């Protein structure tokens, strides 16, 4: 593809199919609901091209999260009419066995899944509201809600944007935020160890694929444990992403948006960090999936590795920041801005979320990521 083709496609994405707004496809999730009318609180004024690019990428990113969280909610979240209104579908009652397996990690897992799902839908829809108020193309990936999801009891038989059936979960977030002598921003070549090595070495479901996955109990527990670490992976990425892109914002209001949404992603992450730890200590660990011996969750408290792996440690440890000449400080990381959007997208690709999507889907997201990383200052 030459430079002119890329330019033409990007202009099409900005003014054409993605600007269609609240569209859905046959059997697809109605993720972009009808936008409410704007009244006295409607924003006014111009939006820089860079700020628009940042917000458009984040809107698409949040729709991706909304899609995957909806799948977790259908099977393992609290089943409420409120959630039915949020997703635009009547729920099928959840999956009792999967919900029970999740609740072995914490009795509030179902409620937290429900609330995380609600948050991601609200982020996507609000960002589209704001983009509309500025006359900027809104993001809608519903045309790509064509992937098959779970066939297990409780799952809606609708098209999906994301694939939760073949996950390769990066659990280096566990050790990266605990490292005292290495900051991924200052030491980009340093390798952080995954806390669950097997999750990075294969493809595993985060939700039951069919009712056959509901037994034996340890197999279903392994699926629930995979989900728990996937929750942490997804939300730690959002935590860093908002902080990274905030540094590229031009307008104070854009900065305010990013610094208001970003911390909610961090709240999500810390919650899931805490719950995932319960999968790595008795009575749930050690656990080997009897249906796939490759998947193993160790009891990491047997051979203590200090604060690098401690199961009840959920706050980042102080480390170097900006320069190793300064004292250690407890900070979120990474927060380096270079290639931030593309790196976040690449992590989702490696995770397996987009297995089955056509090349045009990836080209759309790459275009959005490139624009967000460029963050130009021209007025739209």
Per the CB < 8 A criterion, the answer to whether 356 and 72 are in contact is: no
State the Cα–Cα distance between residues 330 and 17, nearest whole angstrom.
43
Residue 260 has pLDDT above 50, yes or no: yes
Q: Quick one: pLDDT at residue 1?
A: 43
State the Cα–Cα distance between residues 107 and 76, nearest whole angstrom.
12
State the Cα–Cα distance between residues 63 and 59, nearest whole angstrom.
6
Whole-prediction pTM value? 0.88
Per the CB < 8 A criterion, the answer to whether 337 and 247 are in contact is: yes
State the Cα–Cα distance between residues 158 and 138, nearest whole angstrom.
23
Q: Quick one: pLDDT at residue 230?
A: 98
Domain boundaries, the chain: 3-33+44-165+206-306+357-374
State the Cα–Cα distance between residues 199 and 203, nearest whole angstrom.
7
% of the chain residues with pLDDT over 90? 81
**321 φ/ψ angles, rounded to the nearest 5 degrees:** -145, 130
Residues 281-287 have a mean pLDDT of: 96
% of the chain residues with pLDDT over 70? 86
Residue 200 has pLDDT above 80, yes or no: yes
Per the CB < 8 A criterion, the answer to whether 341 and 372 are in contact is: yes
pLDDT tens string 297-335 = 999 987 666 677 889 888 888 999 999 999 999 999 999
Q: Which two structure tokens, joined as six digits, stand for 86?
A: 């949020």
Mean of pLDDT over the chain: 88
pLDDT tens string 68-127 = 999 999 999 999 999 999 999 999 999 999 999 999 999 999 999 999 999 999 999 999
State the Cα–Cα distance between residues 125 and 32, nearest whole angstrom.
6
State the Cα–Cα distance between residues 351 and 331, nearest whole angstrom.
25
Residue 44: band (very low, low, confident or very high) from pLDDT cuts 50, 70, 90:
very low
């Amino acid at each position: 593809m030459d430079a002119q083709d890329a330019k033409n496609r990007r202009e099409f994405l900005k003014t054409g199919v993605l600007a269609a707004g609240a569209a859905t496809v046959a059997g697809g999730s109605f993720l972009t609901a009808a936008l409410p009318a704007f009244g006295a609180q409607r924003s006014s004024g111009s939006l820089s091209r860079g700020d628009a690019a940042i917000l458009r990428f984040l809107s698409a990113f949040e729709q991706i999260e909304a899609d995957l969280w909806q799948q977790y909610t259908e099977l393992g979240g609290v089943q409420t009419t409120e959630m039915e209104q949020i997703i635009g579908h009547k729920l099928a009652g959840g999956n009792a066995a999967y919900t029970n397996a999740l609740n072995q990690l914490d009795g509030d897992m179902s409620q937290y899944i429900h609330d995380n799902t609600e948050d991601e839908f609200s982020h996507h829809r609000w960002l589209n509201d704001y983009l509309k108020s500025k006359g900027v193309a809104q993001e809608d990936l519903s045309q790509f809600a064509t992937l098959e999801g779970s066939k297990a009891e409780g799952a809606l038989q609708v098209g999906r944007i994301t694939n939760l059936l073949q996950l390769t979960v990066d659990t280096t977030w566990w050790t990266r935020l605990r490292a005292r002598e290495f900051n991924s921003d200052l030491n980009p070549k340093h390798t952080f160890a995954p806390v669950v090595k097997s999750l990075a070495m294969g493809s595993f479901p985060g939700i039951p694929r069919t009712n056959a996955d509901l037994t034996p109990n340890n197999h279903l527990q392994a699926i629930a444990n995979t989900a728990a670490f996937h929750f942490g992976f997804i939300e730690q990425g959002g935590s860093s992403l908002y902080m990274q892109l905030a540094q590229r914002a031009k307008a104070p209001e854009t900065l305010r948006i990013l610094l208001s949404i970003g911390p909610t992603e961090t709240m999500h992450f810390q919650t899931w960090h805490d719950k995932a730890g319960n999968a790595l200590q008795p009575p749930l660990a050690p656990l080997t999936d009897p249906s796939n011996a490759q998947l193993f969750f160790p009891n990491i408290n047997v051979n203590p590795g200090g604060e690098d792996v401690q199961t009840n440690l959920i706050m980042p440890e102080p480390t170097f920041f900006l320069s190793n000449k300064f004292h250690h400080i407890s900070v979120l990381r990474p927060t380096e801005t270079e290639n931030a959007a593309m790196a976040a997208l690449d992590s989702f690709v490696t995770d397996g979320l987009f297995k089955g999507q056509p090349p045009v889907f990836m080209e759309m997201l790459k275009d959005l990521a490139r624009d967000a990383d460029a963050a130009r200052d021209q007025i739209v």
